[in-house]
A and B are shown apart, each in its own frame.
Chain A
């Protein structure tokens, strides 16, 4: 990690210093997820080859976050954009960065199809159970009973189903050369390891890679610091299991952290 002056905070070299401090809310998980990504890009030495795509919603705040060529796409369309780039130039390392709305709602068809085609891309998805940027509406991963802008009386699973289990779905449909995992910003070393394995999978040209990160959103959860971590570690993990769901060459299966 690069440290230029004593009073400059240390940050990955692949981070764009000019746009720091960033604009994510205090307590937001995106900063942590992107730090893991930044460190991995540095360690693998792939910054020059990397293309970073982000979605709409809070992920769009990452459009100038990294020191790599980046494109903010339309909502749910980051995956097809990076697929196009990767097929045009397979030398590139392409990353599609999005939230649970972009990945599991409007972008679901693209996620499913690129996973089925085993596109050699890496999808990184921050799951905070809400559509944060637009003011906290229900998301595919909203928990049963959770109050949101469009579930003012709490999410009723009879009416709108259970929270979407993205990595489980992706693992079920991808080839055995794919890498699929779910981490949490609350366990940084493990999350970083998953991100690294995901990018290594693409580097090795093996196939699709997907990492979901349970991510905090105190702004839309209306939680203080203690409650935020508790929601991540105690509530969300009741529905979203942490672990690796597919590692190349092995049969499907998830291991708890």
Chain B
């Protein structure tokens, strides 16, 4: 027999629970509405509305990106009538988001663009400027390992990301130096901290000198650094670079020109005043290591333009040569038509 008092109490409990659940549902809906980014596009009556443009960085903000932040905070973009929204992700490459049209511009790499253009479903992207003129990456190792040349890789452990291109870099370098590439052990440790990796399992790693190399200097951690292009000039590919999608090229090339003009100005400022540039990176990403940022900008001031006539310009030979290298080493299935992959048309002389 169901106790009348108990059932009354239980119906109060049910009512309470129902009320609680209803409250939760209402709160969820209310919060979800505020979660939809209602960006206030408030435009002053005297100004022309700014053209909204979306840029996706390849990674969290670092000194490869400083030119964008300089252009943003010094209002070079607004002077070109652009409202640039800079998004960051830890994805490591912006290519797919730019290809899909979700983003107008992105930071990517020559090896990515080459693979994307020669894939069975080629991506509609094009490289429009090189952020650094020459490849600043190479193989680093603590001096204690005595790896001074590619032949010294023999019998050593490489700590990397497990991609085929890393293996091909090592093979190419070792063959050039007359060593047997089979004698290297490959370890995937996703080593973003090379110092920890060197302590434990890896003997050498692939780094961009501008960040990890500079950090080693700051730490007084002596490393041997073998730059890819020093051993084989075919490996002087453009990295990183800026890409856009072909849809934007066809529908609004003027926006690309304006974006590039302002961005070029930003990167040129990085060359002329690295300390100032560092402050803009810190403004965008205040939690960045300030000392590393400053030292890195100081190193990169010689790399943004380097020996080129202006910032961003690329030459077809380097696209062709590296594309050929990728094809010969089985990294891409079709040969690259370099003219499809990049253009200097959007850089203002």
Query: A and B bound?
Result: no
